[in-house]
């Protein structure tokens, strides 16, 4: 069942919206402020979000921008509500990531029309952004979110780490057990990465046996700890029908004014050094970083 999150600090308006939406056969969630909205997105991953602009703690545009930086926010359809009808307010709301901007007071049929549009959009986005084999975000989602994540890190002056992960000797798995065996490993590997990543992180199947992991608010030391923990986790894991596997990981830390092309190139170069250095290891592309972590 698709979930709709109503975010407004006025209980009366939330009640009206609940009545309007109750006939659509959707699960309805509510949040009374921006912080509670972000927590609800993290816990419930609603597909449609109806978001008030004017709220006491975080305003709707900031909440919308933060939602778009999360994995659930990549495909969510966000309808922004505001009593402010001027063009600048609409532009600000849409530029923060909203899909639609409606002014108060609204007509119930207008909300329902936007809801129907949202349902179609969510279904299309999920199909487009999700890797069909592993069920996690795919390369298209990475391309859509990478630049936004970098911009947020620069804007808020918080660190960001990019790890590119390659399953070692993956061709041997396909050669020995066929592509069905390889596909099973990729699905299980994606679940290991999903379990290891924090809620604030983003992770993707980049293509083939390569995965990317964006570690938000994570500096060099944090990236070292997180990636080493994951390398060890994979090395200990028993993949059914295959046994134990290893990974090579290249990590780069976002530098001041750096763009995504440079960051991904540095992480990719570090990955190749890890593979050339014997695999089952992590290489960092950062001047003050240790040269490598090996098994």
Q: How far is CA 221 from the centre of its chain?
A: 22
7 Cβ contact partners less than 8 Å away, ≥ 6 residues apart: 30, 31, 32, 33, 34, 36, 37, 40, 49, 50, 51, 52, 55, 60, 63
Q: Is 255 a catalytic residue?
A: no
Strand runs labelled E in 62-187 = 77-82, 100-103, 160-167
Query: Model confidence over 104-144: pLDDT tens digits?
Result: 888 889 999 999 999 999 999 888 899 999 999 999 999 98
166 three-class SS:
strand
- Among the residues of 130-241, which ranges form H helices? 139-156, 170-196, 220-236
The two tokens of residue 235 are 């090395």
Closest CA to 26 of 97, 100, 122: 122
Phi first, then psi: give them for residue 149, nearest 5 degrees. Answer: -65, -40
Q: Identify which of 38, 87, 84 has the alpha carbon closest to the alpha carbon of residue 64.
A: 38
162-203 confidence digits (pLDDT tens): 999 999 999 999 898 899 999 999 999 999 999 999 888 999
Are 82 and 55 within 8 A, CB to CB? no
Mean confidence (pLDDT) of the chain = 91
Spatial CB neighbours of 111, under 8 Å, sequence gap ≥ 6: 17, 20, 21, 50, 79, 102
Q: Helix count (H) and strand count (E) of the chain?
A: 9, 11
The catalytic residue among 30, 47, 209, 283 is 209
Report which of 229, 209, 227, 210 is spatially closest to residue 218, judged by C-alpha positions: 227
Q: Which domains does the chain have, with CATH numbers?
A: 3-129 (3.40.50.2300), 139-294 (3.30.70.270)
Largest pairwise CA distance in the chain: 64
10-residue mean pLDDT series, the chain (295 residues): 93 91 89 94 94 90 90 90 83 90 89 93 90 94 90 91 97 91 96 92 95 96 97 96 96 95 96 96 73 56
């Amino acid at each position: 069942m698709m979930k709709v999150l109503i975010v407004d600090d006025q209980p009366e308006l939330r009640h009206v919206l609940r009545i309007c939406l109750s006939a659509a056969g959707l699960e309805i969630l509510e949040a009374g402020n921006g912080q509670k909205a972000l927590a609800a997105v993290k816990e419930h991953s609603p597909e449609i979000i109806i978001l008030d602009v004017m709220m006491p703690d975080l305003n709707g545009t900031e909440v919308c921008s933060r939602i778009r930086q999360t994995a659930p926010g990549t495909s969510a359809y966000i309808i922004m509500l505001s009593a402010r009808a001027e063009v600048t307010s609409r532009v600000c709301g849409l530029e923060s990531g909203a899909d639609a901007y409606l002014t108060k007071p609204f007509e119930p049929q207008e909300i329902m029309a936007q809801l129907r549009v949202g349902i179609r959009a969510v279904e299309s986005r999920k199909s487009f952004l999700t890797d069909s084999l592993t069920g996690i975000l795919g390369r298209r989602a990475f391309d859509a979110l990478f630049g936004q994540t970098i911009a947020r890190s620069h804007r808020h002056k918080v660190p960001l780490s990019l790890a590119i992960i390659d399953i070692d000797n993956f061709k041997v798995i396909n050669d020995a057990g066929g592509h069905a065996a390889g596909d099973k490993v990729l699905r299980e590997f994606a679940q290991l990465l999903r379990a290891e990543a924090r809620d604030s992180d983003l992770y993707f199947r980049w293509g083939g046996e390569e995965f990317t992991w964006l570690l938000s608010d994570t500096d060099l030391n944090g990236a070292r700890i997180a990636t080493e923990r994951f390398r060890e986790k994979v090395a200990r894991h028993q993949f059914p029908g295959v046994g134990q596997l290893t990974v090579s990981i290249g990590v780069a830390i976002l530098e001041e004014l750096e763009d995504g092309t440079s960051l991904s190139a540095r992480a990719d170069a570090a990955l190749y050094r890890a593979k050339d250095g014997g695999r089952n290891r992590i290489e960092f592309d950062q001047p003050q970083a240790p040269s490598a972590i090996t098994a």
